[in-house]
Chain A
Amino acid sequence: MTLSEVAGISGKAGDFQVTIKEHPRYVDMEKCIACGQCAAECPKKVDSEYDAAAGKRTAIYVKYAQAVPLKYQIDAENCLRFKKAGSCGVCEQVCPAGAINFDDNEKKHDVNVGAIVLAPGFTTFDPARVGVWGYGRYPNVVTSMQFERFLSSSGPTGGQLIRPSDGREITKIAFLQCVGSRDEHKCGNGYCSSVCCMYAIKEAMVAKDKVPDLEASIFMMDMRTHGKGFDRYYQRAQNEVGVRFVRCRVHGVEPQGESGDLRLHYINEQGRQVEESFNMVVLSVGLEIPEHVKVLSDMAGVRLTNNGFAATSDFSPVSTSKPGIFACGVFAGPKGIPQSVVEGSAAAAAVADILAPVRGSLALEKIFPQERNIATEEPKTGIFVCHCGSNIAGVVDVEAVAAYAQTLPGVSHVERNLFSCSQDSQDQMMQTIKDKGLNRVVVAACTPRTHEPLFRETLKSSGLNEYLVEMANIRNQDSWVHASDPAAATTKAKDLVRMAVARVSRQIALQQVSVPINPKGLVIGGGIAGMTAALNMAEQGFEVHLVEKTETLGGIALYLGHTWSGESIQDKTRKLIEQVNQNENISIHKGCEVTGAKGFAGNFTTTIATKDGMTETIDHGVGIVATGARPMRPNEYGYGRIPNVVTALEFDRLFKLKEKHVARAKSFVFIQCVGSREGDRMYCSKVCCTHSVQSAIELKQEDSSRMVYILYRDIRTYGQREALYTKARTLGVIFINYELHGKAQVSEEQKQVNVEVWDHVLHRPLRIKADIVVLASAIIANPDAEKLTRLYKIPLDGDGFFQEAHAKMRPVDFATDGMFVAGLAHYPKPVEESVAQALAASARAVTLLSKTHVSLDGIKAEPDPDHCDGCALCIDVCPFGAITLIDRQPREEGGPVTKYITVNTVQCKGCGICQATCPKRGIIIQGFTMDQISSQIEAALAV
């Protein structure tokens, strides 16, 4: 339901009544074919929201080219017809599908649901609210959202880096960070928006790529590149691409005369006031929760934090204060794409947990008629040429194409449709297939990427195998792109139809591969992430095996104090252990390690062994890897040599036990990034800044006369954690910035520990007499990960953490189906992110476990026994390890045993790399055989 908003929520978990208001679209979704003729003719132009007002759109529009559903809508606020009845109406006249409906009305829907997920997103801070940046006054001051569009080839400047005031090329650009973030005074947003540092670097990099001589500077307080792979990107920007980073918050933008240039004042690293001018200034605007979302939260009865984000607990990061209502994405706190995706899946897991008893009760299954066997028939191809209104017929001579199609081999029926995709054409097509006994179909219309599923369905409904249809793309790749050359477009359309006929006549019926699913889960690792995932799956009714290497559940969490928001990790972990112990669906295997594994999604067999060599095999459908990480043992700052130099974990323990040296100490120095963000370990351990700041606060709160110093490179109290940083400074904790080349020197002289460091404010060396030095040491990958990577064919990244299938869109999946990752095994992260990822992994795993079978596309590799000679070249190139070399028994007795291959159709994804590698045509891809592609080449060149 698009263009819809929630108007009312009542009821309770398991039984909510939701009223939804659906605004009129004024375009019939069933009829609109998104040809865009309406927008091409619409006379009313307004600022485009998508282009952040840097470009224009019309009053009838789609938000952007990839919008789903790809259906136009009328913006009644701006449409001339709605201003004056009876006027304009051009869209109605030009629409070939008759989809315009000016009489459309607002509709109300009442739905009864068991659970609600709130994912309303955010808005960006509007810098016009504060005058100092000159936004809205100086045209060359733009927001990062606008700049993103300037960089896009589909944006208002066609991807050219020119500035709005005079169209001149940009050669010098400044990015100002924390506009609308980390700023109580000017905008009231004390929190960090978490994403702006990274997007500013990205925008600077893309801009430098477009204009190599571009001077790009980023003005920031701290660079917060705490995500996976982010620090390496930051390094690359700085050292390889030459983006300049200036550690200074700039408080205002001034015009430089009439030139359109902009002047910034800032303090440089030497402490001097500098003035510099730029062609363009980009404001890295922060994220905010818009007012209407606050209204929605009120309606839902969901509590918000002071910053306006949904209040959640660190151990249930997607549960709001109201049972049955869940939150994810930026609504639950500022965050980037990967964590938003994780939370989306986590919310699904939380919902599945409470709705498990009714799973599948509303699902309907479509029944198709028995499939006709056409294996022995000669091709009888039916061709359907679509006019797409005038989208195709307005350029291509469709009559000529249809007449030509009639002459092609094996063609026994040709017809033209105004819209081949309309329901009546579909019904007609089904009838024709049956009446004329067609066994192949070619639809010459738009693109298979959007419409092939529809036509496959039509074939299935008429008793034909769904793979026997081929589309000739004569709209997107012909009439639309050769509009001014109808003759050439018509010739091309004939060629495309001929190619489609050649290909489909060599197509055989294919069956989807049906894989039975063993509805059991295996979780490797019994820390917070592993236990959370196991518990969520178990509570949904699935049997889970939880394998833990040590004799105790809990993992590193057993050594941690509390989360950033102050929840006790010990208490919650103990409770989690108890729940896991009591759940009858969970079998716990303590003191066990995984020693062997085989199988694939739906059907794995894993062998585990105890320390004394007892083994057990477990059959399971999915696996979740949650093997955690390890604290690094520092080898600098006198650690191990000077007794009062300790790691953060050691300090926590000493502090909790009120150990006398710590209890009496008056001066504490925390050193950040010990082993992180340098050398081969170029990643941020993510949790240490927050941890040290929290410890500093506790020390100060216990005794305000204590001196507490934090030596840092960038303080990364991202998101709402920023409140802790603010609090620490208010309490008098002293923060001293250091650069990698100016690390502190720690020495001991007559039992006195001295820390020497360069002070970035005073610009002179500083010697601190420290009683206790706390090292924020890095989190490093679990060395056991290596073994699992071989057993399950799941990769590690360069730092030894597990590599997810896609950094942004598939953050808990492995490229190997059926295997998932959660917690620190993936990358260092705080408790709430581990829990969210564990829930997400469970949700992803349950999508498989909840089915008895899964169907996979029938396009698969198949060995050809006559041509394969077992050379095994295909095995090396298969990205999914789907091909295995086997012995082939001799054809006649006494002959030699030769080699041959076998393909696991569950693992094969039909990419065809094997087919293109094989020198002997020993392996073929059904649906894309050598013969089929070859026939297309021949057909393309036949005339």
Chain B
Amino acid sequence: MSYEPKIIAFCCNWCSYAAADLAGSSRLQYPPNIRIIRVMCSGMVHPEFILEALNKGADGVMIMGCHLGECHYLDGNHITMARLDMIVELLEDFGFESERLSVTWLSSTEPDKFVKAVTEMTERVKKLGPVQGEVQTA
């Protein structure tokens, strides 16, 4: 059997989660590798969760939030963005490739963009292969 990665996707309730729903209503198809965790805002995703997911066996993590400037909570996604550099550094410190994290901004009416992001991330993670054994105990 080919390698089927598991990807955790944090979707904000207002835009990306709704886009994922609309992808369904529109019967768009995408790889079944992601598991969506609904959060109220992308700014609710604690950096710890990204490390935790990768440590517990996820092969990739996606954060999906509203377009910049359209956050339901004014500037939550800007705060998410501000954390990214730090998160990438953290990932690298722990020996994870930074490509294992992807961030996408999309609106609730862009199911195609959601599908594209998920499909690309699945491809990307498949290329990277499983997280290497030694870091799992880190």
**A residues in contact (CB < 8 Å) with B:** 34, 36, 40, 65-66, 153-154, 158-159, 447-450, 473, 475-478, 480-485, 488-489, 491-492, 495-496, 499, 815, 859, 877, 879-880, 909-913, 915-917, 925, 928, 930, 933-934, 936-938, 940-941
Contact = CB atoms under 8 A, between A and B. Distances in A.
B73 A911 contact: yes
Contacts of B25: 34, 36, 65, 476, 480
B73 A476 contact: no
B29 A483 contact: yes
B130 interface: no
A481 B38 contact: no
A492 B109 CA distance: 24
Contacts of A489: 32
A912 B41 contact: yes
A495 B35 contact: yes
A483 B29 CA distance: 8
B44 interface: yes
A158 B52 CA distance: 38
A476 B58 contact: no
Question: Which of A158, A815, A913 counts the most chain B CB atoms within 10 A?
Answer: A913
B113 to A, nearest CB: 7
B18 A482 contact: no
B40 interface: yes
The 9 closest A-B pairs by CB, nearest first: A912-B44, A476-B24, A480-B24, A488-B32, A911-B73, A913-B43, A940-B35, A879-B74, A916-B46
B51 to A, nearest CB: 10
A575 B76 CA distance: 47
Given A483-B29, A911-B73, A933 B113 contact: no
Contacts of B35: 492, 495-496, 499, 940
Nearest to A930: B46
B32 to A, nearest CB: 4
A65 B110 CA distance: 11
B30 interface: yes
Contacts of A930: 46, 48
15 contacts: A65-B22, A450-B21, A478-B32, A482-B32, A488-B32, A911-B40, A913-B44, A913-B76, A913-B79, A916-B45, A925-B44, A928-B39, A938-B56, A940-B35, A941-B53
Nearest to A909: B73
B44 A915 contact: yes
A499 B36 CA distance: 10
B137 interface: no
Nearest to B48: A930
Interface in B35-69: 35-41, 43-49, 52-53, 56-58
B73 A917 contact: no
Given A36-B25, A915-B46, A937-B52, A473 B36 contact: yes
Contacts of A877: 43, 79
A874 to B, nearest CB: 11
Contact of A859 (B8, B17, B40, B48): B40
A154 B56 contact: no
A481 B73 contact: no
Given A483-B27, A937-B52, 4 more contacts: A477-B20, A492-B32, A492-B35, A940-B37
B26 A933 contact: no
Contact of A941 (B38, B45, B56, B74): B56
Given A909-B73, A941-B58, A484 B29 contact: yes
Nearest to A912: B44
A629 B39 CA distance: 41
A65 B26 contact: yes
B24 A475 contact: yes
B126 to A, nearest CB: 14
A153 B29 CA distance: 15
Interface in B1-37: 6, 8, 13, 17-18, 20-30, 32, 35-37
At the interface, is chain B mostly helix, strand, loop or mixed? mixed
Interface residues of B, number: 48
Given A159-B112, A481-B30, A936 B76 contact: no
A880 B48 CA distance: 24
A158 B112 contact: yes
A551 B24 CA distance: 62
A66 B52 CA distance: 36
A477 B112 contact: no
B75 A66 contact: no
A937 B37 contact: yes
Contacts of B72: 911
Nearest to A448: B38
Given A485-B32, A488-B32, A879 B27 contact: no
B23 A481 contact: yes
A40 B6 CA distance: 32
Contacts of B24: 447, 475-478, 480-481
Nearest to A488: B32
B111 to A, nearest CB: 7
A338 to B, nearest CB: 16
Contact of B74 (A450, A475, A815, A934): A815
A34 B26 CA distance: 11
Contacts of B13: 449
Question: Which of A481, A815, A925 counts the most chain B CB atoms within 10 A?
Answer: A481
B39 A937 contact: no
A910 B40 contact: yes
Nearest to A940: B35
Nearest to A489: B32
B57 to A, nearest CB: 4
B43 A912 contact: yes
B40 A480 contact: no
Contacts of B109: 66, 154
Given A153-B112, A481-B24, A879 B75 contact: yes
Nearest to A795: B74
Contact of A154 (B26, B29, B37, B58): B26
Contacts of B47: 916
B40 A937 contact: no
Contacts of B56: 937-938, 941
A484 B112 CA distance: 18
Contacts of A158: 112
A913 B41 contact: yes
B109 to A, nearest CB: 7
B16 to A, nearest CB: 11
Contacts of A933: 37, 39, 46, 49
Nearest to B46: A916
Nearest to B59: A941
Contacts of B49: 933-934, 937
A62 to B, nearest CB: 9
A941 B37 contact: no
Question: Which of A34, A484, A928, A941 counts the most chain B CB atoms within 10 A?
Answer: A941
Contacts of A491: 32
Contacts of A154: 26, 109, 111-112
B111 A879 contact: no
A911 B43 contact: yes
Nearest to A34: B25
B43 A499 contact: no
Contact of B21 (A476, A499, A941): A476
A928 B26 contact: no
A291 to B, nearest CB: 32
Contacts of B79: 877, 913, 917
B37 A936 contact: yes
A449 B44 contact: no
A619 B73 CA distance: 28
Contacts of A941: 6, 8, 53, 56-58
Interface in B61-119: 72-76, 79, 83, 109-113
A34 B27 CA distance: 13
A761 B66 CA distance: 48
Given A154-B26, A879-B75, A911-B76, A937 B41 contact: no
B21 A911 contact: no
A879 B76 contact: yes
